[in-house]
């Protein structure tokens, strides 16, 4: 049975149980939130040591990276640093021989504080270019959630509703099944 590792932030945490129960694979994930890209870079080997080398990795980072915590004006992770860190994560995952699927950062509600969809779009576009360069498939969870943001994003304007997590879980399963 193939091993599937799910990496990412709280959006991954929201769909991980759905994925685990809907595909025929050994699906596992760190218990902790992958937070921002540098945190995932730091944790990837710790988690793999604990959980085992995966055949397939489905991974996202971004919501924490684009966060603006007042009084800071700029995003937590500048775009060039974000892309450089994603590249380093790719290198670590490729060394293990794992198939990699990268998921775009999901949108926030239009009136969300501390993050903007315009910035998320810039980060997603740059990440998609990087993934194309490395031949990595992109799972566009952003476009999926945008189809019905009112019902797919919950009241906190950042995380997904039950409907949003189920939609993302289904699409994650569909992407992973191509590699099983």
Task: Write out pLDDT tens, residues 7-30.
Answer: 999 999 999 999 999 999 999 999
For the chain, list the domains and their CATH numbers.
3-177 (3.40.50.1110)
Q: Percent of the chain scored above 90 by pLDDT?
A: 96
Question: Which ranges constitute the DSSP H helices of the chain?
Answer: 10-22, 37-51, 79-95, 117-134, 141-146, 149-152, 162-177
Which of 54, 62, 56, 78 has its CA nearest to residue 11? Answer: 62
pLDDT band at 122 (very low <50, low <70, confident <90, very high): very high
pLDDT of residue 72: 79
| Distance of alpha carbon 119 from alpha carbon 69, whole angstroms | 15
Task: Write out pLDDT tens, residues 62-95.
Answer: 999 999 988 878 999 999 999 999 999 999 999 9
pLDDT of residue 44: 95
């Amino acid at each position: 049975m193939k091993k599937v590792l799910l990496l990412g932030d709280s959006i991954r945490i929201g769909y991980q149980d759905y994925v685990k129960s809907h595909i025929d694979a050994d699906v596992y994930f760190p218990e902790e939130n992958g937070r921002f890209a540098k945190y995932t870079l730091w944790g990837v080997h710790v988690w793999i040591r604990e959980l085992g080398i995966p055949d397939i990795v489905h991974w996202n980072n971004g919501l924490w990276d684009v966060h603006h915590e007042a009084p800071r004006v700029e995003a937590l992770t500048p775009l060039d640093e974000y892309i450089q860190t994603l590249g380093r994560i790719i290198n670590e995952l490729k060394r293990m021989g794992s198939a990699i699927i990268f998921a775009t950062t999901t949108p926030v509600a239009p009136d969300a504080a501390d993050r903007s969809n315009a910035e998320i779009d810039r980060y997603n576009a740059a990440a998609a270019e990087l993934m194309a360069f490395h031949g990595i498939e992109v799972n566009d969870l952003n476009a999926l959630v945008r189809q019905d943001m009112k019902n797919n994003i919950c009241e906190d304007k950042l995380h997904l509703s039950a409907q949003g997590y189920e939609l993302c879980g289904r699409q994650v399963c569909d992407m992973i099944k191509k590699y099983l």
